[in-house]
Amino acid sequence: MKVLVIGSGGREHALAWKIRKSPHVSWLGCAPGNEGTRSVAQSVEIAADDIEGIAKYVHDNQISLTVVGPEAPLAAGIASAFDQKRHILFGPTKEAAKLESSKSFAKDLMAAAGVPTGHYATFTDAEGAKAWISAFDRPMVVKASGLAAGKGVIVCDTTEETKAAVDRMLVDKEFGEAGSEIVVEERLEGSEVSVLAVCDGDTFIMLPPSQDHKRIGEKDTGPNTGGMGAYSPTPLIDDAAIERTAKHIIEPTLEAMRENGTPYRGMLYVGLMITDDGPKVLEYNVRFGDPESQAVLPMVKVDLVDLMLAGSLNKLSDMLKHVNLKSYDWNRISRSGHAASIVLASAGYPGGYEKGKVITGLPQESDNLLVFHAGTKRDKGEIVTSGGRVLTVTGIAETLPEALKKAYAACDRIQFEGKTLRRDIGWQALK
C-alpha cells in the first residue's frame, strides 16, 4: 500500500521511520518533509496546510493511507476532503479536532463528562478575567484557547503574574487570534506525563507513556516551547494510574464525543498532571506528540500501520479481542528498555533565531541511536538549520540513564553555530 505522511518536523520523520518498517508499505511519501525524511520517504512538495493540494495528490496517486502530523490541517478540516472508503486518513474530523483547537470546548467537555481536571473559567474580556483571578487567589495558568503551536500557555506564580498574562493575550494580542479567548485554570501540582492512545471512536490502545520537557530552561524554567526533549516509558505514572487514566479519562472522553455526534478516531494525546489525588487532564491534543513521538515510536514493537488502520476503520476493538489485549496494556505492545530524546534547537528559540547554520557530526543510524530531523534542509551540498527545533537525538538502552548517555554523547558530536539543548532531560525520573 501507498502511505503519505503530512508535515515537516521531527515527529513526521519519526512517523516515516516507523511506517517504513511495515511490510504493508510499498511506497512512502512525506509532504513536504525535511532533509531527514528523504532517507526513508519520497519528498512531496506540497505544504502541510494545502488541504486541496494534498487531497488531489492523494486521489491522483491512489494513496491508501494518509497520516497527518501537525494539528493545523486537522483543525482546518482536512478529514472532510477525503473519500474515506478509498483513501483513509488517520486523524479526527474538524469537529472532533476541537479537543485541541478550542481549549474552552475541551474543558467544557471534561466538566460535562466528569473527567478530572483543574478548576477553570473561560473569558474574552480582560476585566472579567482579572476579577475572577482576584477571587480565586492562588497560582494559575493562562491558556490561549486556540492553536498556538504549543506555546500559548503561561504558567504563573502570583496573582499579579496571572493578570499580566491575561493582558498579554486579551489586550496586547501577543498570541493573535488564538488568544482572543482564554482559559484561566488552577495550577495543578505534580509531575506531567503524556499518554498517546490510538482511538477508533469506541475503544483505544495506549502507547508507552512518556514525559515531555516543555520549558526552554533546565529544571523547567523559562518560556514554554514546542518541547525540548522526552523519554519513554516514564516511571512517574504507575500501573494503577494508567488504568485510572484509561477508565476515568479516555473512556468518558470518547463516550462524550460519541454523544456529541463527533466520534473521535485518530491519535488522542492526553497531557496529564499526576497529582496527590491521581491523574488530572491538563490538555488534549489530537495528533502524535512532538517530541514524544521520537521517544515513544522506537519503543513500540507492533506494526504502527496496523494500529492506524484499525483505528481509522473502527476495527480496534476486534483487534484487541483477537489478541486478548486491554486498552491500557501498553507494555504488551512495547519492547523492553527506554528511549531518551534530546532536542537540539537554534539559539534564541522559542523567540527569534537565525537560519542557515551548517550542521556537522551527524551520526549514522543504529539499533540504539536515531537522529530525527526537524528544521533542516540541504543548501549547496551541506545540511543547514532551517527552524527553531533542528534535530531530535534519541538514544535507546535497557535503562534510562544508559539511553540518556547515548543520546547526549551523540548531541556532543553534532555541531552547528548556536546549538541549544537542555542537559537535564529525565531529571524527575532520575531523581
Examine the pLDDT at 136 and tell me if it is beyond 90.
no
pLDDT in tens, 388-401: 999 999 999 999 99
Question: In 285-302, which positions are buried (b, 16+ CB within 10 angstroms) versus exposed (e)?
Answer: bbbbbbbbbbbbbbbbeb
Could you tell me the fold of the domain covering 191-333? Answer: D-amino Acid Aminotransferase; Chain A, domain 1 (3.30.470)
**Which cell numbers in the block locate residue 363?**
551520526
User: Does 191-333 match 125-180 at the fold level?
Assistant: no
Type of residue found at 112: A
- Looking at the DSSP bridge assignments, the partners of residue 230 are 212, 341
Average pLDDT over residues 82-89: 86
Position 315 pLDDT exceeds 80: yes
Rounded CA gap, 13 and 34, in Å? 8
pLDDT at res. 86: 86
Q: What is the rounded CA–CA span in Å between residue 226 and residue 241?
A: 26
Confidence of residue 258 (pLDDT cuts 50, 70, 90): very high
| pLDDT at 251 (0 to 100) | 98
According to the model, what pLDDT value does residue 425 have? 98
Intra-chain end-to-end CA distance of the chain, in Å: 45
Structural domain spans, the chain = 2-91, 125-180, 191-333, 338-430
CATH architecture of the domain formed by 2-91:
3-Layer(aba) Sandwich (3.40)
| Core vs surface per residue 384-418: b (16+ CB within 10 A) or e | bbbbbbbbbbbbbbeebebbbebbbebbeebebee
Eight-state DSSP code of residue 146:
S
Is the pLDDT score of 431 beyond 90?
Answer: no
Report the pLDDT averaged over residues 245-266: 97
Helix axes 251-259, 103-113, angle to 10 degrees: 100
Which cell goes with 377? 534542509
Q: Which residues pair with 396 in a beta bridge?
A: 339
Instruction: Answer whether residue 150 shows pLDDT above 80.
Output: no
Fold (CATH) for 338-430: Glycinamide Ribonucleotide Synthetase; Chain A, domain 4 (3.90.600)
How far apart are alpha carbons 221 and 231 in whole angstroms? 19
- CATH topology classification for 125-180: Dna Ligase; domain 1 (3.30.1490)
Residue 85 pLDDT > 80: no
**Alpha-helical regions (H) of 273-347:** 292-296, 304-312, 316-322
| Burial label, 382 (beta-carbon count in 10 A; 0-12, 13-18, 19+) | exposed
